Amino acid sequence: MSNGILFLTVSVIWVASEIILARTRHSDSSDPGRDRRSLRILWITIALSVNIGIPLGFCGVGTIQAGAGWIAATGLVSIVCGLTIRWTSILTLRKYFTVDVAIADDHRLITGGIYRTIRHPAYTGSLLSFLGLGLVFSNWVTVTVIFVPILVAFLHRIRIEEKALQDHFGDVYVRYCASTKRLIPWMY
């Protein structure tokens, strides 16, 4: 299978899985304001970044010549690894995973599995995939245009989510935060 077909296949799976999540995993929360429009901000940022970044990847500005094949392959592997991390975290949370920031009435704080070392592995996985998407084009402009705005949008959402979790779980969440990192194990 050629790299182009492989990239297209992975991309279709990625987009389809996100559409399915967006349609099926909204909360039934009585407090829709908890999300503070962070989901909308995230989707708009992703749409703009990807729709600007991908065409730039084909324009030749910022193209990396040396090792372009290896960079593109690394990008594809990053997308797959990111999707794996994201789906592992979603399956670990099970019924507590929603696409909007929400706290269920019977919400439990999940601290095991992939959540043992990082608090937001679904976001880590998404960010790794978007970084990979930029790398697939072997283009630093594309990497920057796709990754940086999406990173900023995720960091905004993390602040909102962590406030909601701290408000609900109190000191238990504060202690959990003290023993874990946000996105990158042992670093951040």
Digit-coded pLDDT (tens) for 12-60: 999 999 988 888 876 665 455 677 788 899 999 999 999 999 999 988 8
CATH of domain 3-26+35-179: 1.20.120.1630
What CA–CA distance (Å, rounded) separates 53 from 154?
A: 18
DSSP letters along 105-165, please? TT-----SGGGGTBS-HHHHHHHHHHHHHHHHTTBHHHHHHHHHHHHHHHHHHHHHHHHHH
For the stretch 171-188, pLDDT in tens is: 999 999 999 999 999 899
Instruction: List the chain domain ranges.
Output: 3-26+35-179
Query: What's this model's pTM, rounded to 2 decimal places?
Result: 0.91
